[in-house]
Amino acid sequence: MFEQTRKRLTLMYSGMLALILLVVFVGFYWTLFAIMLRNEQAQLEAIGEKAIHEWKESRERKLLPQSSEEEGLIVERRMDFDFLQPNQLFMLVTKEQQLFKLNAEHDSQLASAIQKAILEHEPTAGRIAHISVTAAGENKIFAVYRPFFAEDDAKLYLAEDVSRMEQLLHQMRWTLIVTGILLLGGAALVGYWFSGRAMIPINQSYKRQIDFTTDASHELRTPLSVILSSAEILQEKKESLPAFHQTVLQSMLDEIHRMRRLADDLLTLARSDVEANQKRHFQKVGLYGLIREVAERMQIKASAKKVKIVNRAALEGVYLMGDGDSIRQLFYILLDNAVKYSEEGSEVVVDAVLDGTNRVVCSVRDYGNGIPKEDLPYVFERFYRADKARSREVEGTGLGLSIAAQIVKMHKGQISVSSSKEQGTLFSVVLPILSS
């Protein structure tokens, strides 16, 4: 129980830290990305203004070609491209011709690939688009910008090689991912250690509570046994007592028996709480013989109320790994509870069916008045009595079903209850079994 709480605390703290790291790292990455994109846009807008200005001046001087290729070469020689950086390029497309200027470091194959990519992925005016170009085994990423151009018969494109920036962003992504994983792993280990330290006083307090319950139950059993023996001696001479004294004596005996059962149940719960936090040495337990034995023994008690126990659990050869005494006590509790709340002359049905190859569903049904719907979620809580009006009439301590739930949990199973006034109450227990 404490180990599970410790793991849940560690998981919760790790999840909170993971969320914080995610927000911080994603925020940092997108801030860096936005800054780099804004810088790219600012640079390309600046050279765009210079390129438009240079192109207009050249046109006014009538240096740009009208149609012939020879004139285009003249213009390219005369037009000033000093505004271009080594990693930038200029591309002008008109109805008559296409002018392309690229750094001499790039070969003609890459230049053709860039022109083709720009025309295929034409960016919106005033926006930046990123294109990937591969030529001669070399992969390049360009940021392409198309400035607003007043001329209807011409389109201007400016591009910048941002391969290094993209590589930097790629490295930054992996650095943040690896750093986040390492930080999260280290924080989880530290958090697990600290949660263990934080659980020490809780564990000690819980152990003291269990020790107190165990010791108190042990200490109560001795005086209760003495009082019970004394009351039974008086019971032998009850015929000589007045009628009122006989009634008082019987009430005293009933309360002594009730107190003794309560002490025994508290001791059982205390032991099960301790055992639940320890590793159990389970053994192979046969369900068929165990259920039959419990049903036959409980029939003696049921006969006093004219209740018949019907055993339909014919599961020969079905075994589970568990504590035989605890499983036996589980069925005693369920059958005892069913007999108590059954109507006189009715039946209690015990059944068990296989659920797949590794589970068995055991059920105990009575045909009593049922449990109110509002009480069903609380029937497994300690000291809870659904039928409060009959809590004194029907013997019990309100701990039986709590013990049953504890036994089922100890065996990695599940217990549930359904009830209605018309069909009575059905307790179902799902337990893992050994595969045949």
Going along the chain from its start, the domains and CATH numbers come out as 1-169 (3.30.450), 281-432 (3.30.565.10)
Backbone phi, then psi, for 95, in 5-degree steps?
-65, -30
Higher pLDDT, 307 or 232: 307
Look at residue 69 in the predicted model and tell me its pLDDT.
Answer: 46
Phi, psi of 125 (to 5 degrees): -60, 130
Q: What average pLDDT score do residues 227-252 get? A: 78
Give the per-residue pLDDT at 364: 93
* Ramachandran bin of 370, using left for φ above 0, alpha for ψ from -120 to 50, beta for the remaining angles: left
**Local structure of 63: helix, strand or coil:** coil
Integer Cα distance of 286 and 331 in angstroms: 14
- pLDDT recorded at residue 348: 92
Q: Residue 403 pLDDT more than 90?
A: no
Rounded Cα distance, 80 and 76, in Å: 8
Looking at residues 238-244, what average pLDDT do you find?
79
Per the structure block, which two tokens stand in for 142? Answer: 């360009």
pLDDT 10s digits, 68-99? 444 444 444 455 666 677 777 777 777 665 66
Least confident of 15-24, 37-46, 415-424: 37-46
How much is the pLDDT for 75? Answer: 45
Residue 428 has pLDDT above 90, yes or no: yes
Residue 427 has pLDDT above 90, yes or no: yes
Structure tokens given for 282: 């389970």
Of residues 102 and 247, more confidently modeled = 247
Q: Write down the pTM of the prediction.
A: 0.49
Q: How do strand 347-354 and strand 308-311 relate by DSSP bridges?
A: parallel
Would you state the pLDDT for residue 72? 44
Beta partners for residue 321, in sequence order: 284
User: Is pLDDT of 421 > 70?
Assistant: yes
32 pLDDT higher than 70:
yes
The alpha carbon of residue 107 and the mean position of all alpha carbons in its chain are separated, in whole angstroms, by 56
- C-alpha 349/C-alpha 309 separation (Å) is 6
Q: With bands split at pLDDT 50, 70 and 90, how would you rate the model's confidence at 388?
A: very low
Q: So what's the pLDDT on residue 350? A: 92
Distances from the Cα of 129 to the Cαs of 88, 123, 124, 159, 281, in angstroms? 14, 6, 8, 9, 68
Q: What average pLDDT does this structure show over 367-372?
A: 84
Rounded Cα distance between 270 and 209, Å, is 9
In the structure, what pLDDT confidence band is assigned to residue 416 with cuts at 50, 70 and 90? Answer: very high
Q: Give 66's pLDDT tier (boundaries 50, 70, 90).
A: very low
- CA dist 214 and 267 (Å) reads 5
Which ranges of 61-162 would DSSP assign to H, the alpha helix? 69-78, 108-120
Give 198 or 320, the one with higher predicted confidence.
Answer: 320
- Which residues 6+ apart lie within 8 Å of 192 measured at CB? 6, 7, 10
Region of poorest pLDDT, from 122-131, 276-285, 345-354, 374-383: 276-285
Calculate mean pLDDT across residues 384-388.
Answer: 57
Confidence grade of residue 351 (pLDDT, cut at 50, 70, 90): very high
Nearest-Å Rg of the Cα atoms of the chain is: 43
pLDDT of residue 349: 92
Average per-residue pLDDT for the chain? 77
In one-letter notation, the amino acid at residue 201 is P
Q: What is the pLDDT of residues 112-158, one digit of tens each?
A: 787 788 777 777 777 788 888 876 677 788 888 888 766 656 777 87
Q: What is the pLDDT of residue 6?
A: 77
pLDDT over 60 (residue 419): yes
Instruction: Identify the pLDDT of residue 73.
Output: 43
Q: For residue 197, give the amino acid letter.
A: R
Amino acid 1: pLDDT: 61
Residue 320 has pLDDT above 80, yes or no: yes
The least confident of 104-108, 342-346, 361-365 is 104-108
Give yes or no for residue 63 having a pLDDT over 70: no
Could you give the percent of the chain with pLDDT greater than 70?
Answer: 75
- Residue 68, burial from CB neighbour count under 10 angstroms (0-12, 13-18, 19+): exposed
